[in-house]
Structure formats: C-alpha cells, structure tokens
Structure 1
Amino acid sequence: MTEYAESKQDHFEGQMPRHVLSLSGGKDSAALAIYMRDRVPEMEYIFHDTDKELPETYDFLARLEAILGKPIVKTSPTDTFDHWLSVYGGMLPSNHRRWCTRMLKLKPFENYIGDGPVINYVGLRADENRTGYISTKPNIKAVYPFQEDGLVRADIIRILEESSLGLPPYMAWGRSRSGCYFCFYQQKIEWVRLKEQHPDLFERAKEYEERSLGFGEQFYWCRSESLAQLERPERVEQIKRNWEASEAKKRASRKNLALVETLGGLELEDDGHLRDGCLVCSL
C-alpha cells in the first residue's frame, strides 16, 4: 500500500477500507483515474452502465481501461431504464425527478459498495464550486484529490493528453457531458448535434417523449418544446444561430484564452450548465 493510500485510512480507525473510483465516461473522472493509478494501485474502478450511453462513451472507457492496466467493473443494474420507467408509471426523469440517477447510478453504486468501509475518490476540480453528492452512507468517505492538490481544468486536459487518452470523443462533435444520450440536462444545441451524429438515438429519445403521452403526461426532454418541434429545419437553424451568437459573445468577453480551450469543442463547456447536472453522471 502506498503512503498516499495509508494517509486516507485514518477516518476508519484502523479498519482496512476499499478504494473505489466511479467513472462516468467524462473527462474529469477519467483524468482522476489516471492521476491516481500509481498513487493507489489497489484502486477499484467502476462504471454504472445504464445501457443508454453514447457509443463514444464505451469506446473512451475501453481505451482508459487499457491505460489503467486493470478492468473497469460495470455495476450494471439488474433492472433497466425501461423497467424503472414502467415502475414510475411512464413518468420520464427530469431535473425535478431524477429517479434515473437514483435507481441507475446511486443504487448500483451502493449495492456494489456494501456496508464495509470505503474511500470514494471524486473528480471535482479546484476551480469548481460544486458539491459532490455521491452517497450519504456512513461507511463511505469521499475524497477530492484534485481539490487537495489544486488541479484545475488545464491540468485535467494535460493529464489526458499526456496519457494519450485525450478528451472524450463526443466532445469533438459538441456534447459537453457524459451520461445517457437523452439526458435532460443537454443544451438544445447538443440535441441538434445528437440528431446529426446519431439520428437513431435521437429517434429513440423522441419515441420516449411520444410514449409518455400514453401515460397521460405531456413531457419534453427540453422542457419547453418537443424533439419533433426542435428537429424542424427552421428551428435547427435558429438554435445554431443562437448558439453561435452566444459563443461569440462569451469569447469576446474572455481574455488570454488558451489555445487548448479553442480546440476540440472545449468552448462548448458551460460551467454553469454543468453545475446543474448529476455529478455521478457527468464528472
């Protein structure tokens, strides 16, 4: 056991905890896994697979697994998204009713952990003002190595580049977060690009909306408009124009923009937008 791992065990008063790092398919948790690989060799890497992830996410995790040199355990829930959708009476998840996070991410995580002592490594950066709700079980102690060591976004990008893993491939076409392809925290420009990159997944997301009407509920992933409305050519062009104008305004207001932030779609990442998401899905 390394000196770093031993330093984290005081919380459990002599008990031998497991060291667990949850991966979302996002850049921060991937960078943390690489950062901790040699500092905590006994680390367990886990991924809560909802079966509704982007294909790019699975590819990214497979390449990360090769770099880590040990398997990433999938804590796949016994009951699928469609099962829980039925349990919840056809009520699709939203930011006000995040049963998807609870039943497909947190519950599998806690089932995997059990009741023994665990140190859970969370990829919150030093330049973020977010709190990390992962679990409230008393046997789990959350630690934040990036915050402890003062690592910020540029450091995370450097770790990924130096490891040869790079950024998650979905960022290249303009998606800012990991998680289910129909995540309700997506921006409208991300829905437009999902349709362009994965029209089949866009159609499945649209089908979920349409089926919800059969349960007596009118619910849209985008809250204010349906995907059928959003995909109309004139609406797509309007969304693109609005996004381009917003990005131009943000770029004009930022000084000393690093070159790396102008490449690979990183300018798409709106920290305020991401702050609203579920950390277990998007870190």
Structure 2
Amino acid sequence: MATEKRVRHILSLSGGKDSAALALYMRDRIPNMEYIFSDTRKELPETYEYLERISSYLGKDVIRLNADIGFDHWYEMYGGMIPSNHRRWCTRALKLKPFEQHCGDDEVINYVGLRADEDRSGYISHKSNIKAVYPFKEDGLILRDIEDILKTSGVGMPPYTKWGRTRSGCYFCFYQQKIEWVRLKETHPDLYDKAKAYEKPYVQTGNFFTWSQGESLAELEQPARVEQIKREHVIRIHRKAARKENATLMEVFAQSDQAEEPDEGDDQGCLICQL
C-alpha cells in the first residue's frame, strides 16, 4: 500500500507587514508551517530586529536561507554589475532560486500575503510541485485588517516605517523612492555610504550604473538636492490629500478616474521582497 506523500507548508517572510501579518494569522491554523527568510545579508538592521520579534511571537525559528552566500557573492559573479528593475538578478539569485532549492521536489503549499484590496499577482513558481495560496484574498482581509493583526498581537508594524521607509528589502533597493534615499542617509549614513560605494563603472563596458534612477547617490546627497526632494515630496503629499478630499465631488460629476501620481522613481517593486 503506497504511503501518502508529505505536503510541506511554507510561508516566506520578507520583513514587510503583509507577510508578517500572514505568519501571525496562520500560526494556529497550520501548526507545522515552515517560516523562511531569504537573507541577502544586506537588509536593514530594523528588518532583522522585526524578524526576531515575529519569531518570538510564533514560538518557532525563522529559517534563514543564503546564510553563507549573500548579495556580494552574486555581485562578484555578475562582474560587479549592480541590479536594477531591468537587471533583477538579485531576485533570481537571492530570492527565487534559494526558495525553490529549499522546497526541492516535495509537494509544497506556499502561503502568500496578498490582500483582498490589492489588484496584483504574487510570485508563482513554474515548478509543478509548488502551489501558491492567498489566505487574505480568500478570507477578504484588507489593509485595515492586516494593521489590526499586527497591532493586537503586539508585534506591530515594521520598525523601519518609523523613519519613513515604505518597503522591506535591501537597504540599497533600487525601487526606493528618492525621499527614502534621503531618509536612509539621515537614519543610517553608514549604509548610505556603503550603497554609494557600489556605484562605479562596470568593468566590461565602462557604463556607470546607479541605484536611484537618473542620478548617483553622490549627486542625490547634495544639500540643495536633498531640500528639493523634500519639497517635492511635501507637494505630492498635499496633492494626494486634495484628491482624496475631492473624490466624492469628482464622482458626482462623473469624472474619469485618474491614476495616482507616483513618487519620483517609485515603481511597484519586487513583490517577493516586499510582501
């Protein structure tokens, strides 16, 4: 008589609020859940602190992938070329590949923290043995619910949100907004300088690649530029607030929906790092 094949339940933590809330939400529903974190070794110190806080609440260790091979190993393998939204080797090498290696050929249910109020897709493995499920979507949980889960548990929001960082991921993530680079400079000047040191001509072509779209970190940190970024950020906040105040009036006059004006250099980002 054939034995039933074991199914593994795996939840990937990114250091962000959604995956954290999902881990807390699923703790008592799936007692044998594996919690993993793909460690680039270039995360914010607040991210590592947050993972310890989550682990303490779960009463279970978070498995660290890439514990011995981090970003710098792959940076050298790619010839000293920093990643970007067009060259996302960091996602493949440091997130996707370690995750699939950890799963192996086992049957795996992968729990993903996409919310019911989000219109986007999470990472879907091409391996037939890995099935993604979305408990928040299935149960109709939205942002307000996620914030409540984190608050009532005592785990709280990720600590880096206190100084204005909006996403998890490496401290030099190229999806950061300009204002987030400014805040990194103000909060962790040592990490800003380390990120700046990666910006140098690519040996094979001589091209100069930058983390932040359109300018180097040496240019971005100039006092006049910092003040400009801060002013533009305040203007965007006021514009967004005004649009929200006028939303009902706009609906009355049947005006077409306008896409929300993005922050300068703000892309959706890599979901496997951000969720």
The normalised TM-score by structure 1 is 0.86
Runs of 4+ that moved beyond 6 A = 270-275
Query: C-alpha displacement at 1:90, in angstroms?
Result: 1.4
Q: What CA distance in whole angstroms lies between the structure 1 residues aligned with 2:265 and 2:121?
A: 15
Query: What is the SS of the residue equivalent to 1:223?
Result: coil
**Could you say which structure has the higher helix fraction?**
1
Given that residues 213 and 265 in structure 2 are in contact (C-alpha distance below 8 angstroms), is that contact kept between their aligned partners in structure 1? no
Change (3 A) 1:281 1:51: same
Query: What is the SS of the residue equivalent to 1:128?
Result: coil
Given that residues 212 and 265 in structure 2 are in contact (C-alpha distance below 8 angstroms), is that contact kept between their aligned partners in structure 1? no
1:281 aligns with 2:239: no
Given that residues 45 and 71 in structure 1 are in contact (C-alpha distance below 8 angstroms), is that contact kept between their aligned partners in structure 2? yes
Q: What CA distance in whole angstroms lies between the structure 2 residues aligned with 1:229 and 1:51?
A: 26
Taking only the aligned residue pairs, the percentage that are identical comes to: 63
> Among 103, 112, 125, which residue is 1:122 paired with?
112
Deviations 1:169-201 (A, max 9, x none): 100100000000000000000000000000000
Query: C-alpha displacement at 1:214, in angstroms?
Result: 4.7
Alignment of 1:102-113 (within 5 A): 102-113=92-103
Change (3 A) 1:41 1:278: same
Query: C-alpha displacement at 1:89, in angstroms?
Result: 1.5
Q: What CA distance in whole angstroms lies between the structure 2 residues aligned with 1:174 and 1:105?
A: 24
Query: C-alpha displacement at 1:94, in angstroms?
Result: 0.4
Amino acid in the other structure paired with 2:85 = N
Q: What CA distance in whole angstroms lies between the structure 2 residues aligned with 1:87 and 1:282?
A: 24
Q: Count matched residues.
A: 257
Alignment of 1:1-283 (within 5 A): 15-76=5-66, 78-210=68-200, 212-215=201-204, 216-255=206-245, 276-283=268-275
**Range that drifts further, 76-85 or 241-250:** 76-85
Given that residues 81 and 202 in structure 2 are in contact (C-alpha distance below 8 angstroms), is that contact kept between their aligned partners in structure 1? no
Given that residues 177 and 274 in structure 1 are in contact (C-alpha distance below 8 angstroms), is that contact kept between their aligned partners in structure 2? no
Amino acid in the other structure paired with 2:39 = D
Query: What is the SS of the residue equivalent to 1:157?
Result: helix
Deviations 1:17-74 (A, max 9, x none): 1000000000000000000000111100000010000000000010110100111110
RMSD: 2.0
Query: C-alpha displacement at 1:274, in angstroms?
Result: 7.4
Q: What CA distance in whole angstroms lies between the structure 1 residues aligned with 2:235 and 2:267?
A: 22
Query: What is the SS of the residue equivalent to 1:166?
Result: coil
Given that residues 106 and 134 in structure 1 are in contact (C-alpha distance below 8 angstroms), is that contact kept between their aligned partners in structure 2? no
2:257 maps to none
Change (3 A) 1:275 1:157: farther
